[in-house]
Structure 1
């Protein structure tokens, strides 16, 4: 490791973004050093990563899974810590320069908060943590001088395009959506899609939860909320268009009518590398974009009737601060039920609006007390209550 390299702590290293991050590290060994790795339960892959990248320490959040690997990590000379609380200490290590937040779901929020409070630069790929903790995170970012760079391809695109003007000069931003596997399907056709079809994305390689969210457009709904917090924009200034080629990742329209867009091949290595390499642009680890070979770029409006999750996200931003917490928790619970084959895709896509309509009923015990404030403990309580409510909510068969 050279004296000028950046020490990374990669949270969620065994997931899609985590593995892509390590691919970028391999391409630029003189630039980045892996100091720490963390995963939820995949001890086998985490061990293989530790053998390859030689971190000082690792964390397995699932203690029961981690107990089987303590001896193997010890033989490597790598300290293995167990339990989710160990993540909070991992990001605070004095040697860490940048924390890659790629934990799946709202479970990543406590580690994100801990990293910001420790003054670490953040490369951020955990949209659910920002959706649930956006109000709190924005407050902390004002208090701590850290660099907070998005990794999601759409938000990375907007981040890059914003260099073309000031915040006051922004008229609107546009997030593109590939459309997932079903954007051309009719309502009748959506009723009968299979479990396997849902888990096969035509463009991106993602984890199962993100793949399901892409199919329902809940993923894009969460990205609307994420963009609201990241770029301090009202919902009416955030637009979504379907772009099946996945070449244009985001656009910014300025008040003078100019539109800046970021284009690239659909490969998450590019936004990961951009976030880690700032302020420099490093030699590419992705292939060059050949627009002649692409041939044409299509853009289409999205349909609220077929994909109600998007409209739901816009509505949430006009409600109380805690509503995004509830929406994300309920969606995660329903997706887990789909992945367990308890719900059909049709029930999942219709069910989120149904269960969210009961949000005040679900949170009644919490709303009956003092006014809710956006603290980490309050967010955790809201998340737990909403998640439990959705896990038990009876979604009609909806075959009629």
Structure 2
């Protein structure tokens, strides 16, 4: 008879690894397995982001995002200090370049105050003093924003999980989920061979495949993961010192994404991006990407057409700037005119797994679904990497409560 593990966690991104690691700390004697379809950790959203430890500027006060982000930034920096992982506390400037953005900047500053974030308003003169290559009418300075290598953080968490006795199964893709009264059966494919696992409790941190994994177990999902490509460029080495802070635009609150920014990376390089272009492949990181299955699923989903109708103007603008580099460049030159078109060098794209409801609304906060023996993280939006430790803690508490309920029934 197959062994029934106490917990199985599906997903080797930073949220899944954080959850498995914390479950093992809380339950050292439990049998816990971490399952990942790739050959290593952090191959998708975790490994294709800007590497920023966010302070929580944009998030609605009282939301899970605001709470997780603030606690997550502190916890991430503490974890990195304990494990000798480099963190650079460079700070961030949100730069207003016109009168409309300046008005939005004042409203965003008030939100920062409500969220208890250490910020300062900078005049145009002060902005030019501390960032002479940046042009703007003023800025919000966010002291607590930092940068890190999230792939390294994830790998270190996985090593900690294994050192406590946790089991890792890489190159193992889930093909079916079957919930029974006393366990969940997980059918997998490992290097072409079929295997089966069983767990008393299943946690799914599926990212780009979250909706499909939830459907596998019989959850009637009212959303779909819609992929949006975030395209980046990198700047030549001569520009690596052109800024000393991260430089972000003031976001338009009517649009779902933050806009193109300048990001210092922990290796000393400097990136530009991302934009937000409609994707036609959930794991499409190359220049040209298309998946028939992903595209058909998306086109059959009514929520896709509704969200596209709402944001068609910005969608066309993003598409134009994706294929026409001067348009992309203008988004950067409005606050950093020194950058030229031939200095936008190739850099890997990322894919944002955006949960969209059937009514066309974007899910901006964390979204969970569950059955008696499974918990699914259906939407883990930015700043999920920053927030991975408190998210994992939150998931642990929910799973433990579910187990307690089952034990009381039994």
**Superposed pair shares fold, TM > 0.5:** no
Where relative contact order (Cα < 8 A, 6+ residues apart) is larger, the structure is 2
TMscore range, shorter length: under 0.3
Flag the structure with higher helix content. Answer: 1
Per the normalisation by structure 1, the TM-score is: 0.27
- TM-score normalised to structure 2 length: 0.26
Q: Which has the higher strand share?
A: 2
